[in-house]
């Protein structure tokens, strides 16, 4: 049985179990068929647990189906963004983002471009180490910059070092991305591919901490925060890039429940979403009361 066939069978099984659980509620029949499908899809996404490859692929397949069927807006809660849905459902939006990058970008590249066995690589590395190098891998594979400065610095350093090594070996670096590498020339794309292959080998061999230092040696900048005190309560206001946020959630794991809200471009919708958040209303009340 192939992984795709196994995924399809397990996906349908989880959806049937999720629907059966929803059907126990007294108001289930009051929803439209479209709302029911959306509730089942999002419920199935929430119900998938585990850190194995199958669990990641299942979540990714549900995310694709949610986007393809517009399940967010079709849901009775009429979610405007993935982040809003994840926050209300108690799902880590950061992990969902990583799953989309891993299964949608990195895994296809590993299989189709590098010709490696994804399942075997995952078994040799695991979730923690793959997530550590994921931001750098994504930049190298897509050629697009990250929102995190330390990731961009790491990618630039990797490329500079690899380019210098190739030039020292008498290999010319060319701009033709149709070429990957031959005995005398290598393209920018070929350099990025070499670095990806090296990082994946390191992930199989190095401990997580050593791998983290290799992939992102630059220290994440300290978080600058404003603490507002009033009536014995404290409100912390800060602005973080993705790297700082990842550091914060990792350090406070088990001590902080995070609910993320993605704000749309529409001003009215932004205000509506924010005013529905108790934390935002509490912040405003500190200045108005």
CA distance linking residue 207 with residue 198, whole number of Å: 15
Judged against a pLDDT cut of 60, whether residue 1 lies above it is answered with no
**Residues of the chain with pLDDT > 70: what percent?**
93
pTM: 0.76
Residue 235's CB is within 10 A of a number of other CB atoms, namely: 13
Judged against a pLDDT cut of 70, whether residue 165 lies above it is answered with yes
Residues in the chain, overall count: 289
Judged against a pLDDT cut of 60, whether residue 2 lies above it is answered with no
Domain spans of the chain? 3-91, 102-215, 225-288
160 pLDDT band (50/70/90 cuts)? very high
Own/partner long-range contacts of 271-279 (Cβ < 8 Å, ≥24 apart): 273/80, 273/84
Higher pLDDT among residues 222 and 139, named by residue: 139
User: In the chain, how long is the greatest CA-to-CA distance?
Assistant: 74
Dihedral angle sign, alpha carbons of residues 178, 182, 185, 187: positive
pLDDT averaged over the chain?
86
CA distance linking residue 79 with residue 87, whole number of Å: 10
Please tell me the predicted confidence (pLDDT) of residue 177.
67
4 pLDDT band (50/70/90 cuts)? low
Question: Could you say which DSSP state residue 29 is in?
Answer: G
178 pLDDT band (50/70/90 cuts)? low
Q: Over the stretch 242-258, which tens digit does the pLDDT of each residue have?
A: 777 877 776 776 677 77
Q: List for the chain the helix, strand, coil content (%; round to 5).
A: 65, 5, 30
Judged against a pLDDT cut of 70, whether residue 230 lies above it is answered with yes
Judged against a pLDDT cut of 50, whether residue 56 lies above it is answered with yes
Average of per-residue pLDDT across 81-99: 85
Dihedral angle sign, alpha carbons of residues 165, 170, 175, 181: negative
Please tell me the predicted confidence (pLDDT) of residue 180.
66
Average of per-residue pLDDT across 43-53: 88
């Amino acid at each position: 049985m192939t992984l795709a066939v196994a995924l399809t069978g397990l996906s349908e099984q989880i959806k049937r179990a999720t629907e059966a659980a929803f059907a126990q509620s007294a108001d289930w029949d009051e929803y439209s068929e479209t709302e029911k499908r959306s509730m089942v899809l999002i419920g199935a996404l929430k119900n998938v647990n585990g850190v194995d490859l199958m669990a990641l692929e299942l979540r990714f397949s549900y995310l694709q189906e949610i986007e393809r069927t517009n399940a967010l807006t079709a849901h009775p809660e009429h979610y405007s963004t993935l982040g809003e849905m994840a926050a209300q459902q108690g799902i880590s939006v950061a992990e969902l983002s990583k799953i989309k990058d891993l299964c949608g970008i990195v895994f296809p590249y590993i299989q189709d471009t590098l010709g490696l066995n994804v399942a075997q690589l995952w078994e040799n590395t695991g979730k923690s180490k793959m997530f550590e190098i994921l931001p750098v891998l994504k930049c190298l594979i897509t050629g697009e910059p990250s929102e995190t400065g330390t990731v961009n610095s790491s990618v630039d350093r990797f490329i500079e070092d690899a380019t210098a090594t190739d030039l020292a070996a008498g290999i010319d670096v060319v701009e033709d991305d149709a070429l990957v590498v031959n005995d005398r020339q290598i393209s920018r794309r070929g350099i990025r591919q070499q670095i990806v292959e090296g990082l994946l080998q390191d992930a199989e061999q190095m401990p997580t901490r050593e791998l983290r230092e290799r992939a992102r040696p630059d220290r994440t900048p300290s978080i600058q925060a404003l603490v507002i005190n009033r009536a014995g309560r404290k409100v912390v206001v800060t602005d973080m890039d993705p790297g700082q946020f990842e550091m914060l959630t990792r350090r406070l794991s088990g001590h902080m429940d995070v609910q993320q809200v993605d704000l749309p471009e529409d001003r009215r919708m932004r205000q509506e979403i924010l005013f529905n958040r108790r934390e935002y209303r509490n912040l405003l009340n500190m200045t108005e009361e």
